[in-house]
Amino acid sequence: MTREKGPGKNKTEKKTNETEIREKETPEEEIREEEELEAKRRGLVSSLAYLGIAEEVLNALLLVPRHEFVPARLKSVAYVDTPLEIGCGQTISAPHMVAIMCDLLELAEGQKVLEIGAGSGYNAAVMGKLIGKNGHVYTVERLEALAEFAKTNLKKTGSENVTVLLEDGSLGYSDFAPYDRISVTCTAPEIPEPLLEQLKPGGLMVIPVGEYFQELVLIKKDKNGEIFREVKGRVVFVPLIGRYGFRDR
């Protein structure tokens, strides 16, 4: 019995030593990985210039590390221009769609923004960069697991001007209304009345509308409270679930 333990112990010691060596190499590997991801981010943002996106929006995309807002197993593909699964049957929007929606909203320093559908927090982080330290994003998420995921991601990336709220997003969030801008990242059967009410006169809202056939709609509320709608193209989003959205499936 004693002889059998000896070789096993040596193997254990060898594995331990190998692990320690790998751990010592980890910081260098992490630096190299970060450099590669940053290069991919720059490449992605450069590829979006053809869309005619405002330079301010492109700069915001450069400042927010998308790979910190996706599951670890998807980090290597974080800068592919496509939606990615983030759990709970939800997705993080493709970077080009985030860019388009931010561009349509004409986000500026000091604005107060309501987002419906926090997801992993990425879109809110980008908007947070565009409205600066004097602005604030209130992002509403109905799924607790995602709300916590978003909070974690926003904290580790230093997004201090974003607040995540666990609520029914189809109701908006009246506590901080009215909002200069409203961004909806899930498709609604029709534009929820509470969101129209919470939009400030002179404000803008962008929202996908439809079920099987979806359109991205830009809403403008003039100073007299009159609502104007402009369709900006066909899109595909997960459904808005809630009182003024679709039923839970």
State how far the Cα of 82 lies from the Cα of 100, in Å rounded to an integer.
14
Measured N-to-C along each axis, helices 2-47 and 55-63 cross at an angle, to the nearest 10 degrees, of: 170
Mean per-residue pLDDT, 162-173:
98
- Whether the full predicted model's pTM is greater than 0.75, yes or no, is yes
Between 50 and 23, name the one with better pLDDT.
50
Domain boundaries defined on the chain: 49-235
Mean per-residue pLDDT, 19-44:
77
pLDDT in tens, 175-217: 999 999 999 999 999 999 999 999 999 999 999 999 999 999 9
| Per-residue pLDDT, 1 | 37
**Which fold, 49-235?**
Rossmann fold (3.40.50)
| Per-residue pLDDT, 26 | 77
State how far the Cα of 17 lies from the Cα of 154, in Å rounded to an integer.
36
Between 14 and 110, name the one with better pLDDT.
110
| Per-residue pLDDT, 149 | 98
| Per-residue pLDDT, 234 | 96
Radius of gyration of the chain (CA): 22
Sole residue written with tokens 């609604």: 188
The reply to whether 174 belongs to the active site is no
Between 9 and 76, name the one with better pLDDT.
76
The set of residues, in sequence order, having a beta carbon less than 8 Å from that of 216 and lying 6+ positions away, is: 100, 101, 206, 207, 208, 231, 232, 233, 234, 235
pLDDT at 134 over 60: yes
Q: What are the distances in angstroms from CA 28 to CA 17, 23, 25, 34?
A: 18, 10, 6, 10
Q: Is 100 in a helix, a strand, or coil?
A: helix
pLDDT at 219 over 60: yes
Give Cα 167 to chain centroid, integer Å.
17
Query: What totals of helices (H) and strands (E) does the chain contain, helices first?
Result: 6, 9
| Per-residue pLDDT, 148 | 98
State how far the Cα of 63 lies from the Cα of 223, in Å rounded to an integer.
34
Cβ–Cβ < 8 Å for 227, 219: yes
Considering 47, 93, 159, 170, which one is annotated as catalytic? 93
